[in-house]
Amino acid sequence: MNRKTLFTALACALLVFSMLGCGTTNHLQSITLGASLVNGKPPTSQTGFFTLEGNGGTIQLQAIANYSSGVKPKDVTSAVTFTMVVDPVNNVDAYDNPLPAPGQTVQIGVTGLVTAIDPATCTWVDVSPDPTKPAWFYVGAYKVTAMYQGITSQPMYIPVASSAGNPDDIFPPTQTGNNPSQLCGPTPTS
């Protein structure tokens, strides 16, 4: 085989292999934010909404990168930047006090561990007029997002139940004595 034929064959092979890679780019499409552990247990509530229970209670967030080429999603929790703010819509506690900024009552670490800290708070109210049949509604939450390679995840909302609830839940304002046990949010027994 002469050099010209060998060179032509190699060039053709290189061209074929380079064309095989066309159209199979692996671009980051989205980040999905969820929880891997809630108070040390696998999460049981829906994605995007988790209650932080008990003072010292924790939620371990998990960020998953989703790619355009069908490549298996990748856990990027250790590489994202988490942002936590008070939800601009639901932003009070059970006593109608404004929720404090993150770092007070709730903190988030660089690894995505959300922790309830002092001073404790309750962002759930019982809107039922019947003290024996509570109907829980959250009036305050913290909103968390994760950013990775310029893409921001969907928000996750975290109501807090680290203190006793209001015995006279004020939502609606005419309620009095509807939460005599001072519960804070839905529990398996309520």
3-state secondary structure at position 27? coil
**What whole-number distance in Å separates Cα of residue 60 and Cα of residue 58?**
7
Q: For 136-186, what is each residue's pLDDT tens digit?
A: 999 999 999 999 999 999 999 999 999 998 888 766 555 677 888 888 988
Q: How confident is the model at residue 19 (pLDDT cuts 50, 70, 90)?
A: very low
Q: Is the pTM of this model over 0.75?
A: yes
Q: For 51-70, what is each residue's pLDDT tens digit?
A: 999 999 999 999 999 998 87
**What whole-number distance in Å separates Cα of residue 93 and Cα of residue 165?**
9
At CA 174, angle to CA 169 and CA 179, rounded to 5? 30
**CATH number belonging to domain 25-161:** 2.60.40
